[in-house]
């Protein structure tokens, strides 16, 4: 999986003002549906929330990879959001999160889903990439850090 194939400026936000886990999921869902008329806001939010109830998607070091399965889409949709201030997220290391790399995956793409999660986790384990994302003042800088 090549991450640059699934990310885009129109699904990236930088320095969002947000103070709760639920609100960041709402922001992610709003961004997801903005450029994808086939997506329904409540379906996207419900899918992300349902997955989060199974266990936190906070992978540590201030990073979360919320994700959900969506019926009716053909390709993986990625949404990248950084928050102005870190949010309490019940991450694996109990640290607040400020980088959110969300994925919406077609319901039937189980193997691709796992490969994509692995690729993203690997990319975000690079301290230089994470530092560049945190220091980004513009959406294009986040995209460039991940390219």
3-state secondary structure (DSSP) of residue 91: coil
Residues forming beta bridges with residue 62, ordered by sequence position: none
19 is catalytic: no
DSSP string of 14-36, one letter each residue: EEE---SHHHHHHHHHHHHHHT-
3-state secondary structure (DSSP) of residue 113: helix
Locate 120 and state its tokens: 């993203």
Phi (first) and psi of residue 2, to 5 degrees = -100, 115
Catalytic residue among 12, 27, 44, 67: 67
Strand bridging mode 63-64 / 67-70: unpaired
Active site residues: 67
């Amino acid at each position: 999986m090549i991450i640059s194939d699934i990310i885009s400026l129109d699904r990236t936000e930088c320095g969002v003002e947000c103070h709760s886990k639920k609100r960041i999921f709402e922001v992610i869902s709003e961004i997801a549906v903005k450029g994808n008329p086939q997506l329904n806001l409540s379906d996207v939010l419900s899918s992300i929330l349902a997955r989060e109830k199974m266990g936190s998607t906070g992978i540590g070091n201030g990073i979360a990879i919320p994700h959900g399965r969506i019926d009716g889409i053909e390709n993986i949709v990625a949404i990248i959001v950084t928050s102005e201030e870190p949010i309490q997220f019940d991450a694996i290391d109990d640290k607040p999160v400020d980088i959110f790399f969300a994925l919406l995956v077609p319901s039937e793409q189980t193997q691709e889903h796992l490969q994509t999660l692995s690729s993203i986790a690997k990319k975000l384990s690079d301290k230089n990439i994470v530092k560049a994302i945190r220091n980004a003042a513009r959406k294009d800088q986040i995209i460039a850090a991940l390219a």
